[in-house]
């Protein structure tokens, strides 16, 4: 399931991120290639045994050189800085991807060592499988009910941390149906290596069929089931819950409230402090 997203991007976010990486690499070649060439050339030309090469032992300053060595890297960084600024705003993971299309909302909870996905609009919950329609933006709210985690589906885009008592956001979009690989990339303890999930982009019809299948599941994610699920466990198989406790996501964030004002959070106010 793992492909290199820089060769084979599966969505517009990772494509833009990759293109930024390519163009930055290309522009930096303006200084990197001369550095390589000069090193090779000077080693050869000015080797001590080459008595034909000019030798100026007291040459210690030549102002045009200084203008170039300060000026050219500065110009590159200026170019890069402008692109950096623009792209960082453009690719802010909090940004909605295409405001004209209604995104699919999924609330993501990191646990030791598995991922719980809650579909508030479908009233279902799933462990270790994230299914969503291709072509429709995915709007994720992410938190943790354990240590700090980092959520990433590299084929679609970058990562964001999951932290207890806080919510972070991530927007992704898959161009085509496909199976991707998602996981926690922030070390979180003994079960870290297996803390992964399947991310499946489907057609709209397949998505609806999948939702129906989950709705038919016997288990419901009530408080007792949640407490049991929360206990550290590894290699947890995909599990479907046809229903979940109301406001589960907000309740989990509120567990770690800092003060009285936080005890009744609306999900919008629980952003991480800057």
Partner 1 sequence: MEILGRFTIDSLPFYSVIAASGAGVTVLGGLLVVGVITWFGAWRYVWTEWLTSLDHKKIGIMYIMVALVMLLRGFVDAAMMRSQQAIAFNSDGYLPPSHFDQIFSSHGTIMIFFMAMPFMAGLINLIMPQQIGSRDVAFPFMNSISLWITTAGAGLVLISLVIGRFSTAGWTGYPPYSGVEFTPGVGVDYWIWAVLISGIGSTMSGINFVATIVKCRAPGMYMFRLPLFTWTVFVTAALMIFAFPALTVACTMLMLDRTLDMHFFTNGMGGNMMNYINIFWLWGHPEVYILVLPAFGVFSEVVAIFSQKRLFAYLSLVFATMAIAFLSFTVWLHHFFTMGSSAKVNSFFGTMTSIIAVPTGVKVFDWLMTMFRGRIIFKPPMLYMLGFLVLFVIGGLSGVLLALPPVDYVVHNTTFLVAHFHNVIIPGVVFGYLAGYMMWFPKAFGFKLNEKWGAWSFWCWTIGFILAFMPLYVLGFLGMPRRMEHYEIAAWQPHLIVAAVGAFIIFLGIVCMAIQLIVSLRDREELVDMTGDPWNGRSLEWATSSPAAPYNFAVIPDVKGLDAFWQMKAEGIAYKQPDHYEDITLPRNSSLGLMIGVLGGVFGFAMIWWIWWLAILSMGVIAVLIIIRACDDHTNFVMPASEVKAIEDAWFAKIAKAPRNEMEDDPGFAGFPAPEGTA
Partner 2 sequence: MTASASTMSPPPTAEQYEEKEFGFWLYLMSDAAIFALLFATYMMMVGNTAGGLPGKELFSLERAAGETALLLLSSTAFGFAAVALSAGERSRTVIWLLVTFALGAGFICLEVGEFWGMIQEGAPPERSGFLSAFFTLVGTHGLHVSIGLLWIAVMIGQVLFKGLTAPVASRLMRLGLFWHFLDIIWVIIFSVVYLPGLL
Q: Do 265 and 250 meet the contact criterion of CB atoms below 8 Å apart? A: yes
Least distance in Å: CB of 122 to partner 1?
26
| Nearest by Cα to 268 from 160, 171, 166, 172 | 166
CB closer to partner 2, 167 vs 239: 167
Q: Do 247 and 266 meet the contact criterion of CB atoms below 8 Å apart? A: no
Least distance in Å: CB of 232 to partner 2?
25
The DSSP secondary-structure symbol of 213 reads H
- The secondary structure of 125-188 as a DSSP string is EEESEEEEETTS-EEEEEEESSS-EEEEETTT---EEE-TT--EEEEE--SS-EEEEEEE-S--
Q: Indicate whether 259 belongs to the interface with partner 2 (CB under 8 A).
A: yes
260 binds, among partner 2, partner 1, none (CB under 5 to 8 A by kind): partner 2
Least distance in Å: CB of 111 to partner 2?
23
Q: Indicate whether 254 belongs to the interface with partner 2 (CB under 8 A).
A: no
CB closer to partner 2, 123 vs 262: 262
| Nearest by Cα to 154 from 199, 95, 118 | 199
Helix-helix angle 63-90:12-45, to 10 degrees:
170
CB closer to partner 1, 216 vs 272: 272
Q: Do 23 and 83 meet the contact criterion of CB atoms below 8 Å apart? A: yes
Q: Indicate whether 164 belongs to the interface with partner 2 (CB under 8 A).
A: no
For residue 116, the surrounding DSSP H or E stretch is: strand 114-119
- Pick the stretch among 148-156, 182-190, 214-222, 253-261 that binds partner 2 (CB under 8 A): 253-261
Q: Indicate whether 218 belongs to the interface with partner 2 (CB under 8 A).
A: no
- Pick the stretch among 12-20, 78-86, 138-146, 256-264 that binds partner 2 (CB under 8 A): 256-264
Q: Indicate whether 257 belongs to the interface with partner 2 (CB under 8 A).
A: yes
Paired sense of beta strands 239-241 and 178-184, if any: unpaired
CB closer to partner 1, 146 vs 242: 146
Q: Indicate whether 258 belongs to the interface with partner 2 (CB under 8 A).
A: yes
CB closer to partner 1, 29 vs 209: 29
Least distance in Å: CB of 162 to partner 2?
20
CB closer to partner 1, 27 vs 211: 27
Query: Interface residues with partner 2 (CB under 8 A)?
Result: 257-261, 263, 273
């Amino acid at each position: 399931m793992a492909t290199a997203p820089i060769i084979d991007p599966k969505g517009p976010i990772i494509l833009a991120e990759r293109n930024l990486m390519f163009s930055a690499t290309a522009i930096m070649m303006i200084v990197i290639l001369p550095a390589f060439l000069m090193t090779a050339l000077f080693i050869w030309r000015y080797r001590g045994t080459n008595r034909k090469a000019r030798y100026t032992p007291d040459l210690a300053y030549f102002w045009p050189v200084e203008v170039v060595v300060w000026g050219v890297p500065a110009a590159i960084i200026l170019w890069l800085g402008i692109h950096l600024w623009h792209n960082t705003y453009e690719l802010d993971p909090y940004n909605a991807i295409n405001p004209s299309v209604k995104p699919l909302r999924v609330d993501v909870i990191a646990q030791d060592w598995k991922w719980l996905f809650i579909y508030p609009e479908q009233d279902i919950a799933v462990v270790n499988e994230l299914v969503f329609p291709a072509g429709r933006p995915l709007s994720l709210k992410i938190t943790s009910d354990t240590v700090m985690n980092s959520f990433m589906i590299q084929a679609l885009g970058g990562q964001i941390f999951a932290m207890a008592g806080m919510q972070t956001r991530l927007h992704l979009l898959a161009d085509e149906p496909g199976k991707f690989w998602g996981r926690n990339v922030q070390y979180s303890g003994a079960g870290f290596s297996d803390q992964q999930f399947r991310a499946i982009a489907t057609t709209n019809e397949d998505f609806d069929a999948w939702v129906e299948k989950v709705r038919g599941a016997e288990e419901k994610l009530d408080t007792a089931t949640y407490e049991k699920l929360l206990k550290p466990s590894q290699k947890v198989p995909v599990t479907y819950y046809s229903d979940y406790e109301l406001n589960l996501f907000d309740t989990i964030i509120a567990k770690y409230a800092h003060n009285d004002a936080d005890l009744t959070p609306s999900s919008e106010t629980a952003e991480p402090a800057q």
